[in-house]
Amino acid sequence: MNQRRDRVTLHDVAREAGVSPMTVSRVINNTGRISDATREHVRAVIARLDYRPSRAARTLVTNQTMMIAVITPDITNPYFAEIVKGVEDLAWERGYSVLLANTNENQAREHAVLSQLEDSTVDGIIICSSRLPDDDLYALIEQHQAVVVVNRQVPKHLASVVKGRDALGVRALRAGRYLAETGHKRIGYLRLKRSQWAVEVEQFLDELGSFGLEANPDWCMQCLPTWEAGYAAAQTLLARHPELDAIVGGNDLVALGILRAAVEAGRHVPGDLAIVGGDDILLASLVTPPLTTFHVPKYEIGNRAADLLFKRMTGDLQYREHIYIETLIRRDSAP
Amino acid sequence: MNQRRDRVTLHDVAREAGVSPMTVSRVINNTGRISDATREHVRAVIARLDYRPSRAARTLVTNQTMMIAVITPDITNPYFAEIVKGVEDLAWERGYSVLLANTNENQAREHAVLSQLEDSTVDGIIICSSRLPDDDLYALIEQHQAVVVVNRQVPKHLASVVKGRDALGVRALRAGRYLAETGHKRIGYLRLKRSQWAVEVEQFLDELGSFGLEANPDWCMQCLPTWEAGYAAAQTLLARHPELDAIVGGNDLVALGILRAAVEAGRHVPGDLAIVGGDDILLASLVTPPLTTFHVPKYEIGNRAADLLFKRMTGDLQYREHIYIETLIRRDSAP
DNA sequence: CTGTTAGCGCCTTCAG
DNA sequence: CTGAAGGCGCTAACAG
């Protein structure tokens, strides 16, 4: 299995080229001064022998892996897929590879991933929408050289941050306000379970209350950020509380689940029931009726996160943040 | 930047525990015979010092990276995201990490990725729906120890394979047949550009011809496997050929693009125009009308690909294939 | 059951 | 401009 199938080494190249290993190393790394003649010659030998430097050996001595990790709750959620793409593109540009860790919305797995990932594996880490409690997350981040956190705030000495302008995902509050303003009276909320970045039910109720609306905790539930979970939760919610005339979903997948449950329950959207989502995935614009939601620059989030990470990896540990703007997109599910 | 921030090494542990480095190594790897007493003692010291073995050093000597790579044309396509999840889950179970390379449907980038990835980076590679021409792909695969190819056939000595039961993605043919059987007369086809696994336009036309239907190359176009591309292509196709009464999309994203273009062009689906997709992504069942498509076990594809890869990584280079079944799912877009 | 020796393939440091 | 020595952190192969 691990037969070193006659790997061509730096020394082979050196011997073949009649120079010292050090010269070859210099040619590869474009470092030090080398005469054009020998450089060309060495290059030719490298090409002829199809020599490729060993990453492991190089990493061992330079302490750089040329890899970054992206930790994500669910790569299957188009929201995260876009972010990852944004990361990957910039990484590729800079010659880095991306290690993808999917935690499947599972705290234990996220914890395990973060504690296993040490400096000899990866030069930096991007943590998206961590589901870990603060203390745990902070402690784990502290172990690492360079970290960027997406959709979460952390102490400024620990990591740079990419997040929405409205702290703590005030999106749901804005959605509630919008629904109130457009004449809805009995508004429900499906909060994302485990998301440390989602508006708490209490805040949501307070917000509704401040508009003079009835604020009923029974109209709120929690569910995982998946379509299935949103669908199931909406079924119970709608069965128990047919009086609802609007529901806010924690993200688009959940909102789409609500939409389906509503249609199946014979509700007319938006006539009987208005629905607002959260992150404007492609799906949101394609369903009928299309979903009112918030636009979020997902690709850009990933791209900027990578950019901030590279700055940290460079040794520049200054705290930076990239603030993105979430804008309400009115579509027919809540016009 | 690459300051070796006082890494705790095996030797530190050994010194601290008053044993030889080798003993510590044995404890870490659970190898050789060691008295329970020393084992426990060493474990305690490891914990106290928070020692973590260096992957790089280990890789250098064992020649194993404990990483596998997944190469994908577009992680943003839910089809691939599911596959990647299937891979990641099994990899995690076996203690492996996943390197994700996104080629963005770009042949040059795929080529570059494959040629840069050498044995010292990764222990095995899963290539999904490669867009490279055969010779190029084969040559690149040959460079690597362990490879599994998804949705493509390759010479049996090069790699194991996961693919659909119907060779060369006969899906489009089946879709054409189905549409013919359900009374459609003028059937168009949006073939996936660059996909080496898609049915060629000629085959498609032949198939229609064999049903006594008109087979018109002008009714066929090629487009990239994205929603946008399908939408744009369908717009032109429908404008030029309003006589079409059905269109087959190369995959679901494309089919959804067709659906949108059709609706915007004032066509009634399925009344005026029937549409069939290709891989049953979540979206397909949520749009109105829901899309007739083929179910494809995406998660399983990824999982089995990883399984076959691990077999190869074990040194067992026997050719294996996993054949999955694509089943037509009749929904309202082509009832 | 435990220790010793000798590298893995490369780069840093210091001499020429 | 080029080379020689030494070591990064770990494990394989032998000893005892």
Q: What are A49-83's pLDDT values in tens digits?
A: 888 899 999 999 988 999 999 999 999 999 999 99
Query: Which range among A140-144, A280-284, B14-18 shows the weakest confidence by mean pLDDT?
Result: B14-18
The order of strands in the sheet holding B67-72 is A321-324, A160-164, A147-150, A124-128, A67-72, A97-102, B97-102, B67-72, B124-128, B147-150, B160-164, B321-324
Backbone angles phi, psi at B53, to 5 degrees: -60, 150
**Six-digit token pair at A28?**
């590869």
Whether the link from the prior residue into B297 is cis, omega within 30° of 0, is: no
Alpha-helical regions (H) of chain B: 10-17, 21-29, 36-49, 55-62, 78-93, 107-116, 134-142, 171-181, 201-209, 227-240, 252-264, 282-286, 298-313
Are the C-beta atoms of residues B150 and B305 closer than 8 Å to each other?
yes
Q: At A125, is the pLDDT very low, low, confident or very high (cuts 50, 70, 90)?
A: very high
User: Which residues of A are less than 8 Å from B5 in CB distance?
Assistant: 119, 145
What confidence tier does A134 reach under pLDDT thresholds 50, 70, 90?
very high
Q: What is the pLDDT of residue A71?
A: 97
Nearest to B296 by CA among B310, B281, B286: B281
- Residue A203: its pLDDT value, please? 86
Q: Determine the distance between A25 (CA) and D9 (C1') in angstroms.
A: 21
Give pLDDT tens digits for A242-263. 999 999 999 999 999 999 999 9
CB contact (8 A) between residue B99 and residue A101: no
Residues of chain B with Cβ-Cβ distance to A59 below 8 Å are 56, 59
Instruction: Dump pLDDT digits (tens) for A171-216.
Output: 888 999 999 999 999 999 999 988 877 778 888 888 888 888 888 8
Question: Which secondary structure element, helix H or strand E, spans residue A112, and what is its range?
Answer: helix A107-116
Q: Does B92 touch chain A (CB under 8 A)?
A: yes
Distance from CA of A103 to the nearest CA of B (A): 9
Nucleotide nearest to B22 (CA to C1'): C3
Give yes or no for residue B4 having a pLDDT over 80: no
Q: CA B4, C1' D6: Å apart?
A: 18
pLDDT of residue B3: 45
pLDDT at A1 over 60: no
Contact between A98 and B101 using a beta-carbon 8 Å cutoff: yes
Instruction: Tell me which chain A residues have a C-beta less than 8 angstroms from the C-beta of B2.
Output: 62-64
Record: contact A2-B287, CB cut-off 8 A: no
Mean pLDDT over B12-41 rounds to: 86
Residue A92 contacts B where some CB pair is shorter than 8 Å: yes
What is the CA B34 to C1' C1 distance in angstroms?
Answer: 6
Q: What pLDDT was estimated at residue B91?
A: 96
How many Å lie between the alpha carbon of B274 and the closest alpha carbon of chain A? 17
**Res. A23: pLDDT tops 60:** yes
- Closest residue of chain A to B50, computed from CA coordinates: A143
Q: Closest nucleotide (CA of A36 to C1')?
A: D1
Question: CA B2 → C1' D4, Å?
Answer: 25
d(CA B170, CA A332): 38
Tens digit of each residue's pLDDT (9 = 90 or more) over B211-270: 888 888 899 999 999 999 999 999 999 999 999 999 999 999 999 999 999 999 999 988
Task: List A residues 285-314 in contact with B (Cβ-Cβ < 8 A).
Answer: 286-288, 313-314
Specify which residues B294 forms β-bridges with: B328
Contacts (Cβ under 8 Å, ≥6 apart) of A238: A244, A261, A262, A265, A267, A273
What is the full DSSP assignment across B245-304? -EEEESSHHHHHHHHHHHHHTT--TTTT-EEE-SS--HHHHHSSSPPBEEE--HHHHHHH
- What pLDDT score does B169 carry? 63
Chain D positions with a protein C-beta closer than 7 Å: 1-5, 7-13
pLDDT of B331 strictly over 70: yes
Tell me the mean pLDDT in the region B136-161. Answer: 94
In whole angstroms, D9 C1' to B38 CA is 22
pLDDT of residue B1: 40
pLDDT tens-digit readout, B246-262: 999 999 999 999 999 99
Position B321 pLDDT exceeds 80: yes
pTM: 0.92
Which residue gives the smallest C-alpha to C1' distance to D3? A20
Distance CA A333, CA A240 (A): 22
pLDDT at A168: 55
pLDDT > 70 in chain A, percent: 97
Q: How many CB atoms lie within 10 A of CB B85?
A: 19
Is the Cβ of A20 closer than 8 Å to some Cβ of chain B? no
